[in-house]
Amino acid sequence: MTILKKLAALESQNRLLRYIPHMDPDEAAKRVFLMSAKHMRWLTSPEGTTKSRVYRSRVRAAIGEYVKGEAVLDNNQTLKKLQPPGLDVWVYKITFTPHARIIGFFVDYDKFIGLERKFRHELEGDAYDEARDRAVDRWNFLFKDSRPHSGHSLFHCISNVRLEQ
């Protein structure tokens, strides 16, 4: 089974969920951002304090811009490939306070799967490597022997990448 067929099966089983942002009639999804049901519940939950609901709303807006195909600068500020490079693990950065990281993989060009979510302050010391390793373990559990999409740079992974000006 190809990796895209595995992805389709995981989506049909609701093991991975696609984030669909609010879009105006003249907008369309140009990229895909998937995550586990647990992470989707957190992202879309109407529960919590006003502060936490506003924060999640801002995260949804940031991911929504990604899905809508907004330009991403190739400066490691939004998406950065983690070490070691052979694992093909990427981090999607939430750059407003509180800073957060969504660690995952590209399953194909323009298709990102976030498998681990942590606030930046939770990733001190070895915690970043441990979160990366948990994401790798989840990838291996979901996709078995399939390798993620490999790209040496962001240009190989998503459309509408811009050089930093």
Q: Each residue of 140-158: pLDDT tens digit?
A: 999 998 999 998 899 999 9
Report if residue 75 sits inside a domain. no
Average pLDDT of the chain, as a whole number: 94
Full residue range of the structural domain in which residue 88 is found: 3-20+28-70+83-162
Q: What is the pLDDT of residue 85?
A: 81
Q: Which of 121, 3, 22, 16 is nearest to 65 (CA)?
A: 22
Residue 1: the pLDDT is 81
How many domains in the chain?
A: 1
Domain-embedded: residue 76? no
User: The whole model's pTM is what?
Assistant: 0.94
Note the pLDDT tens digit of each residue in 104-152.
Answer: 999 999 999 999 999 999 999 899 999 999 999 999 999 998 999 998 8
Q: Which amino acid is at 164?
A: E
In one-letter notation, the amino acid at residue 9 is A
